[in-house]
Amino acid sequence: MFKQCTISVPVSVTGICLHSGKMARIVLRPAEVNTGVIFHRVDLHDIVDIPAKAEYISDMRLATVLQKGSVRISTIEHLMSALHGLGIDNIHIDVNSEEIPILDGSSDCFVDLLERAHIKEQEFFKDFIRITDVVEISEGGGDNKKWARLEPYNGFVIAFSIDFKHPVISSTANYIEIDISKDSYIKDIAKARTFGFINELKSLNSIGLACGGSFDNAIVMDDFRILNQNGLRYKDEFVKHKVLDAIGDLYLLGKPLLGRFVAHRSGHSLNAKLVNLLLSKSDSWEVVRNNYETPLY
C-alpha cells in the first residue's frame, strides 16, 4: 500500500531563470495530506496560489506555464518532473518571480533539494489516475507528424521517440522505453538537460525567451556539434530529456499516473493537449487508491 508523501523541512534555492534571465528564489515547504502541489507567487502584494493542475495550463511555448487570472508561473516542468519522479504528492512552492529557476537545465538539482528536505510518508493512502482506455492526440502529417498516446498499464511506463535533423542528435539513441520508478528516475532520467541551438538564440531572445540560457543550464549545439566542453551526461540524453519533460507535464493530471505514455516528437504543448483530452474523457480513466483497488470514482 502506497502512502502519500511530502517533505519534512523547508528548503530553498536561488538561480537564474531560463527565459527572463532574471534571478528567482523558490522555497519548498511541507503540506498536509490531499493538498497536492501548489505554487504561491509571494512577490505579489496579495499572494496568489496556483494549483499545479491542468485547468490552469496556459502558454506552452518552450515551457510549461500555469496561469490564474493575470498571474503566471512558468518553466515549472523540471520541478514538476522531480516531484512526480520522487513520488511527492503534497508540497507548497513559494516563488518570488514569474518563473522557476532553470538551475542546471535538468531536474537533478531539484532531486537533490527534495532529498535534502527529507521525503516522508504521510498517514493517508496515495491516489492514482489509472488509464482504462486508449487516448491519443496527433498534429501535422507526413514527416512532420507528432503524436502522443496514453494506454492502460498497471504501472508507469514511458516510450518516447524523437526525430531531429541534426547530426549530433541523429547519431544518438532516438528511442527509449523505461519503467518509471523513483530509482530509475534518479539514475536514468533526472540528469538529462534541456537542449537548444546557438543559431536560434537571437530570435528567441527577441521575443523574450531563453534570455538566461547558457552552457551552464543547457546542451548547446551549432549546426554540427555540441559546444559544451564536457559533452553529454547520457549517450541518449536528448530523448531522455523529452521523457523528463513529459513526466512533469503528466503530473498536471493532479495525481500520479498508472498507465503507459507513448509519444513521437511530442513536446509541452502536445503533452498538455493530451492531458486535457484525457480529463475530458471520463470513461477512459479512473481514480484508484493504490493500483490494485476498486475505483474511488
In this structure, what CATH number is given to the domain that contains residue 225? 3.30.1700.10
Please name the residues in contact with 268: beta carbons below 8 A apart, sequence gap of 6 or more: 60, 62, 63, 64, 77, 245, 249
The H or E element containing residue 204 is helix 201-206
Inside any domain, residue 43: yes
196/108 same-domain check: no
114/175 same-domain check: no
Give the predicted TM-score (pTM) of the model.
0.96
136/247 same-domain check: yes
Inside any domain, residue 275: yes
Residue 208: CA count within 13 A, CB half-sphere: 6
Does the annotation place 264 within a ligand binding site?
no
Alpha-carbon distance of 288 to 152, in angstroms, equals 13
In this structure, what CATH number is given to the domain that contains residue 18? 3.30.230.20
Residues of the chain with pLDDT > 90, as a percent, come to: 91
For the chain, list residues with pLDDT below 50: none
Domain boundary among 126, 161, 178: 126
Does the annotation place 241 within a ligand binding site?
yes
The H or E element containing residue 273 is helix 268-280
What's the confidence (pLDDT) of residue 70? 97
What is the count of structural domains for the chain? 2
- In angstroms, what is the C-alpha Rg of the chain? 18
**How far apart, in Å, are the Cα atoms of 165 and each of 19, 154, 171, 172, 174?**
24, 35, 10, 12, 11
Domain boundary among 93, 126, 159: 126
What's the confidence (pLDDT) of residue 118? 98
Q: Which domain holds residue 17?
A: 3-126
Does the annotation place 245 within a ligand binding site?
yes
Exposed, middle or buried: residue 158 (CB in 10 Å: 0-12, 13-18, 19+)?
A: buried
177/259 same-domain check: yes
45 is catalytic: no
What's the confidence (pLDDT) of residue 232? 98
Residue 99: CA count within 13 A, CB half-sphere: 21
Domain boundary among 82, 102, 126: 126
Q: What is the pLDDT of residues 93-142, one digit of tens each?
A: 999 999 999 999 999 999 999 999 999 999 999 999 999 999 999 999 98
Alpha-carbon distance of 202 to 292, in angstroms, equals 51
Alpha-carbon distance of 2 to 17, in angstroms, equals 35
Inside any domain, residue 48: yes
268/199 same-domain check: yes
**How far apart, in Å, are the Cα atoms of 14 and each of 20, 102, 124, 218, 295?**
14, 10, 32, 17, 41
What's the confidence (pLDDT) of residue 5? 99
**Residues 51-80 as b or e (16 or more Cβ within 10 Å = b):** bbbbebbeebebbbbbebeebbbbbbbbbb
- In the set 40, 92, 264, 268, the catalytic residue is 268
CA angle 52, 55, 59 (to 5 degrees): 85
What's the confidence (pLDDT) of residue 62? 80
What's the confidence (pLDDT) of residue 152? 98
140/246 same-domain check: yes
The H or E element containing residue 202 is helix 201-206
